[in-house]
Amino acid sequence: MNDRRNILVTGGAGFIGSHLVRHLVKQYPEYKIINLDKLTYAGNLENLRDIEEAENYRFVKADINDADALDAVFGAEAPDAVFHLAAESHVDRSIEAPLAFIDTNIRGTANLLHICRKHWQTDASTASLQAEKGAVENEKRFIHVSTDEVFGSLGDQGLFDEETRYDPRSPYSASKAASDHLARAWQHTYGMPVIVTNCSNNYGSYQFPEKLIPLMIRNILKGDQQLPVYGQGLNVRDWLLVDDHVSGLVAAFHNGKPGETYCFGGDNEWKNIDLVKKLCEIMDDKLGRARGTSAQQIRFVKDRAGHDLRYAIDAQKAKDELNWMPSQDFESGLRLTVDWYLSNTDWLEAVTSGSYLDYYNRHYTNR
Ligand code: NAD
Ligand code: TYD
């Protein structure tokens, strides 16, 4: 591949996107990174303060549903790679207000694929040429970033992998599943050099505190807030540090094959209640509280509607074909994450003021 690349990242002001943008800007000075983000409640330019002046970085505020804005960015920057992360990403919000998920995750993805194809000029003849040659010769890449939730819910046994049948069960996962199908359809029909990735639950710095780990850290820190565990807390998630997801995405970009799917996961399954108790222990230590103090804030609350029982990934294909490995063990990853939130209480306060509090009160009061 050439050294110089113009890379468009959508959703780069969000949790995973900001880690990806920072990594690309810092590690690849020969690449130009264009971050396109609508800045919803979940997008925050504070997440990228440290690199905003970098010469190889540009931010564009735009909605992926805005065809003219996308057209202008493709015209001006001629990106030859896209990492598509822009999405509505929270399951509970998708249960409360699903249509925003349809607009951004489905329609927005189709719009982005459509404009991208126009500029990359792939068409049906590219697709048949590819089929003949068995490979895409151009160096363009569209990395479609998705979730393991598209596969539905596991019982006690088994793991998701690239062959698992789709069975999405929440408005969020159904909208992501639809977007995966659209990305693959553009590959198959128009020869777009698409790679799809499906990753398990991420954790780390800059995660919006509506998601389990930062929400619990925030509430433990406040001391007088409940730690709302849905149902009995027996649901299982497979947690991966966000930096390890980012290294997987970059490996998929550099080493992955168009038309392929790669699953990333942490081999790191936790029942929610055990994870919350672990966080309480870590926070008791960090805050100098007696062991057991923070756990007194735990409350079992009304379960999430349609709550998927268990997610877990077999990431062997990514390990074999992309030479990818998660690097961080969970206990130290969690400690680092807690340290970050404790050192960034201003960030936590800023993102949880305003409309977040309306959501929080609506969602958790009388739950
Ligand atoms: P996030 O909610 O933190 O960030 C999403 C970003 O997209 C925000 O910056 C937001 O402003 C932007 N955005 C939303 N709608 C937009 C629109 N219409 N146009 C342009 N920008 C828009 O999400 P995240 O947790 O960083 O997830 C990023 C991607 O990774 C999503 O596609 C998600 O489905 C996928 N994913 C997330 C996880 C996880 O554990 N968080 C795991 C696997 C896959
Ligand atoms: P979440 O971080 O929302 O990720 P996802 O639903 O996409 O896996 O939730 C992780 C798990 O934690 C999930 O099983 C739901 C549960 N959960 C709670 O028990 N309480 C909460 O307040 C939240 C936000 C999640």
Tens-place pLDDT, residues 336-365: 999 999 999 999 999 998 888 899 999 998
Confirm if 189 and 122 have CB atoms less than 8 A apart: no
Residue whose CA is closest, atom 22 of ligand 2? Answer: 228
The per-residue pLDDT of the chain, averaged, comes to 95
Query: H-helix or E-strand containing 229?
Result: strand 227-230
Tell me the per-residue pLDDT of 258-290, one tens digit each, with 9 for 90 and over. 999 999 999 999 999 999 999 999 999 999 999
CB of 196 within 8 A of CB of 349? Answer: no
Q: How far is the CA of 197 from the centre of ligand 1 (A)?
A: 14
**Residue 367 confidence (pLDDT):** 84
Q: Is the pLDDT of residue 135 over 60?
A: no
Q: Is 148 a catalytic residue?
A: yes
* Per-residue model confidence as pLDDT tens digits over 324-336: 999 999 999 999 9
Catalytic (active site) residue 149: yes
| Mean of pLDDT values over 220-246 | 97
Residues 6+ apart with CB under 8 A from 182: 106, 109, 110, 113
pLDDT value for 164: 98
What atom in ligand 2 is closest to the CA of residue 276?
A: 19
> How remote is the CA of residue 89 from the centroid of ligand 1, in Å?
5
**Residues in the chain, overall count:** 367
pTM for the whole structure: 0.97
Q: Ligand 1 centre and the CA of 86: distance in Å? A: 5
> Quick one: average pLDDT of 227-247?
98
Q: Atom 29 in ligand 1: which residue has the minimum CA distance?
A: 85
Whether 82 lines ligand 2, by a CB cut-off of 6 Å, is no
The answer, yes or no, to whether residue 129 has pLDDT greater than 90, is no
The full set of domain ranges for the chain reads 6-363
The CA-to-CA distance between both ends of the chain, in Å, stands at 53
pLDDT the model gives residue 136:
44
Looking at residue 207, what is its pLDDT? 98
CA 240, CA 83: separation in Å to the nearest integer?
A: 19
pLDDT of residue 131: 52
Q: How confident is the model at residue 126 (pLDDT cuts 50, 70, 90)?
A: low
Q: Give me the mean pLDDT over the 152-160 stretch.
A: 97
pLDDT of residue 51: 98
Per-residue pLDDT averaged across 30-57, rounded?
Answer: 97
Residue 127 has pLDDT above 80, yes or no: no
The whole-angstrom separation of Cα 219 and Cα 3 is: 45
**Fold of the domain built from segment(s) 6-363:** Rossmann fold (3.40.50)
* 37 CB near ligand 1 (under 6 Å): yes
pLDDT of 158-207, one tens digit each? 999 999 999 999 999 999 999 999 999 999 999 999 999 999 999 999 99
